[in-house]
Structure 1
């Protein structure tokens, strides 16, 4: 979609914030829940769940990515954080996210207004009527989870996430 597109601006922002919010975590730290709060997801689950959402945005952009680790990080309530299992490393998750960025962004820029007004694919038509609304919904979902990881950073004694 040519010209000013707030969703592309937000997509670019999420690229930066995803990397910034995960900066400085060891792989071991990302597997640990906040002490005393077993109901709170650990960072690795949230990062993987964000990656799973990024695959969704890649599909909106017309890509056909190989969705890795879906059984661990699926969206729409089809997964939950687990303890003491062999998750991929946080570096693998970050690497996969970053690998998707450029081709997804290029695909998003090619979307036309008519495509964005078109029907959202199943099963996502339960949360959005159009492809554009689905993109906005997933983008909001990502902001929510980036914020959760940001809160966990502070609770785990790390510095606040950088916006730069």
Structure 2
């Protein structure tokens, strides 16, 4: 398992998540790009990405991380973007994302190859045969949704996401 590459992606996501959300107002993050569309709004995507980060915490046995807002942002088709409901603010979501990064990373950096080769915890064992494969899947999933927000940035007339 290439743990160092997975950690590099994990750290990259930390920077890109914050960058892709930069400059959005809370009101904008609740708006769909087009009325009556099936395109998710930014706030749902930001929360859903946070939910994926909780998945990484679970696969790493970071038991101190307690997921927030799971019913709003759960993965695997268990939630969807909703309009006119009381979501947490985009700043609350970003604050939560930033608060869990270091505790999760501290667990990830110490994972052994043997641990990464083990079967992932249920229900995530539907997505991968090992914890390492699940980590790679979740990294990709996070990157995919960061890209979606990047496209929405442009649709809202914002500059491209910074990679710095």
TM-score, normalization by structure 1: 0.96
Structure 1: 4+ residue segments shifted above 6 A: none
State the secondary structure of the residue aligned to 2:157.
coil
After TM superposition, the structure 1 = structure 2 runs for residues 107-146 of structure 1, keeping only pairs within 5 Å, are: 107-146=107-146
- Is 1:61–1:105's contact at 8 Å kept on the other side of the alignment? no
1:11-30 deviation line (CA, Å, top 9, x unaligned): 00000000000000000000
Tell me the C-alpha RMSD between the 2 structures: 1.4
- Is 2:30–2:83's contact at 8 Å kept on the other side of the alignment? yes
Gaps of 5+ in 2: none
1:8-56 deviation line (CA, Å, top 9, x unaligned): 0000000000000000000000000002461100000000000011111
Gaps of 5+ in 1: none
- Is 1:31–1:44's contact at 8 Å kept on the other side of the alignment? yes
In 2, distance between residues paired with 1:94 and 1:114?
33
Aligned length: 163
TM-score, normalization by structure 2: 0.96
